[in-house]
Structure 1
């Protein structure tokens, strides 16, 4: 089976009920104020705590440490159950320590990490596709919370329900809701402490990679030195004709082979909250990697073969969304180079 595309898809992806559009209401304005407060708190406060992550039958405990001192954000995420894993994210990049059976990777910065939820600072980017609502009040992790809902206006994307600390707006609980309004992914802090300062040592990995069998970032980078590099593409024969309203292409990368010819491509579309990746890979002797639908928790995928290429669309969106996008992918004929004689007038 052809594996590189699936591994890349899983790494790259490491974030409703139909409602007609209407004018902003007092509830919507209040909800936006709470969301703006949440964005500010999660980015600037110093805090650490333990949370439970639930996805179907899968339950996991994690530890989070975050620093926002002097505008320099740092984040460390550690697993408390299952295989030992750590993620340290700063403005300079993201470094993972994962069991050897997984691939360690680096990223372009903290802004790429979606935990606990990736909401743009300018909420106006979402208003065309989502409604904001104040649902009520509740109690989470022993404190009073304000419950806010982000409700999609169509069935092409998921919605959220958020529990925010009424004292400071910190996110204490998050529920991702499918197109029927049913929970498919939940996160809840069991304790969360706001601190004046967090020492730099809290963001250093506490394990020796030789002893635990983990792969370090340095080992990964050294091993990947000979791997094909990706580069932004300004032109491509691959086109995505239709995406749901509000989704825009945010990046388009290509991976070249030894001959310099682009073999694989990765396109990313986002609406400000939901993200969808489109992977294009030339097929080898192993044949098609994935055909039809596939699901893992909140993530849906749809694969199709087009000529000698595998098209794979992956995202935390409904299954119909990835299938519709995959059906709109097409390949334009490559231009035939003209000889010097043909170019003469």
Structure 2
């Protein structure tokens, strides 16, 4: 699940690490925060009695309809910590955001609706792309799929305060082992998510994200963000062109669907240039097949297997995000898979075992 009100960046970082090893392209990002210990007990002033879909629709609206400025921090038990400064404004039908990384390499990401620009000042590069799925929290389409309630139960926990705001606290409990559970703090008046804990099947917190400081209804100027986004002077612009396709057209299928996860999109992605600067061969193109259960998202990146540049099989975990890399078994052994998602590793294994070549 991507907890961002802005564009997500956490899975993107993980995938980017995988890409450096496996020469693949990725998508998805995230930022989040700190204190993992306090979980409020139920009180008389309990959150409203609503179903899973109603809660998610409320949070979904809160992330889009309010202007705000805040510092968002994400942490994991292993000590990984990242933070970002976020400016968000709704200007009529348009959503504009600026995300300034406060940890790691300098990076500024701007979004206007589906147009995304990432400024990398050290490299003097701006990466430009259109994103089909914006990975806002909750990760729901414009018309949320009511079937999400088939895979999660909701339990009211009570109320708490986060960054100075009163918050309702609920827990989303998965009905199977294919997805994580979540404790969610949402601002009482707007529904804006101000804190999230991702928990595993043993109720251990595997990742926490929260605002450490937040100003709601902040005087964010849409025009100012748009001007900053357009100022590319001195930067080299790199456009990531995605070609819409289908699994059937590209020769892929899942022999057995993974319960609750529905296909969201299928794209052909341009291959990364080789180390010698030569243009990649057409057959080096990567395809990305994305699935979602309405909260959690899984991306399958499939490319030709190349023993000269493809790493060995492996797994990678950063907080709630897992990734697996493996060469597909015969008769698809000419292909290499990287599966990434904020789901348990067994879910990625289920996708990998079900993925099959149709031609």
TM-score (ref. length: structure 2): 0.74
Determine the C-alpha separation between the residues in 2 that align with 1:294 and 1:272. Answer: 24
Structure of greater Rg: 1
Determine the C-alpha separation between the residues in 2 that align with 1:326 and 1:4. Answer: 21
Determine the C-alpha separation between the residues in 2 that align with 1:117 and 1:39. Answer: 6
Once the two structures are TM-superposed, the CA of residue 305 in structure 1 deviates from its matched residue by: 1.5
- CA offsets 1:143-166 (integer angstroms, 9 cap, x no match): 221101222111101122111122
Matches within 5 A, 1:1-345: 3=19, 6=22, 8-9=24-25, 11-14=26-29, 29=50, 33-56=54-77, 57-98=79-120, 100=122, 105-109=127-131, 112-120=133-141, 121-122=143-144, 124-195=146-217, 197-199=219-221, 200-202=223-225, 204-205=227-228, 216=235, 219-221=237-239, 230-233=243-246, 234-254=248-268, 263-286=285-308, 288-306=310-328, 307-332=333-358, 334=359
Contact 2:83/2:101 (8 A) holds in 1: yes
Kindly indicate whether structure 1 or structure 2 has the higher relative contact order, using CA contacts under 8 Å at least 6 residues apart. 2
CA RMSD of aligned residues (A): 3.3
| Partner SS for 1:126 | helix
Structure 2 vs 1, CA of residues 242 and 13 (structure 1 numbering), >3 Å: closer, same or farther?
A: farther
Contact 2:323/2:341 (8 A) holds in 1: yes
Determine the C-alpha separation between the residues in 2 that align with 1:106 and 1:30. Answer: 38
Once the two structures are TM-superposed, the CA of residue 6 in structure 1 deviates from its matched residue by: 4.1
Structure 2: gaps spanning 5 or more residues: 1-17, 31-46, 272-279
Structure 2 vs 1, CA of residues 82 and 295 (structure 1 numbering), >3 Å: closer, same or farther?
A: closer
Structure 2 vs 1, CA of residues 100 and 178 (structure 1 numbering), >3 Å: closer, same or farther?
A: farther
Determine the C-alpha separation between the residues in 2 that align with 1:168 and 1:41. Answer: 5
Determine the C-alpha separation between the residues in 2 that align with 1:327 and 1:36. Answer: 33
Structure 1 stretch displaced more, 305-314 or 32-41: 32-41
Once the two structures are TM-superposed, the CA of residue 52 in structure 1 deviates from its matched residue by: 2.0
Once the two structures are TM-superposed, the CA of residue 326 in structure 1 deviates from its matched residue by: 0.7
Once the two structures are TM-superposed, the CA of residue 322 in structure 1 deviates from its matched residue by: 0.6
Structure 1: gaps spanning 5 or more residues: 16-25, 335-345
Structure 1 stretch displaced more, 197-206 or 307-316: 197-206
Determine the C-alpha separation between the residues in 1 that align with 2:218 and 2:121. Answer: 34
Structure 2 vs 1, CA of residues 320 and 92 (structure 1 numbering), >3 Å: closer, same or farther?
A: closer
Contact 2:60/2:138 (8 A) holds in 1: no
TM-score (ref. length: structure 1): 0.77
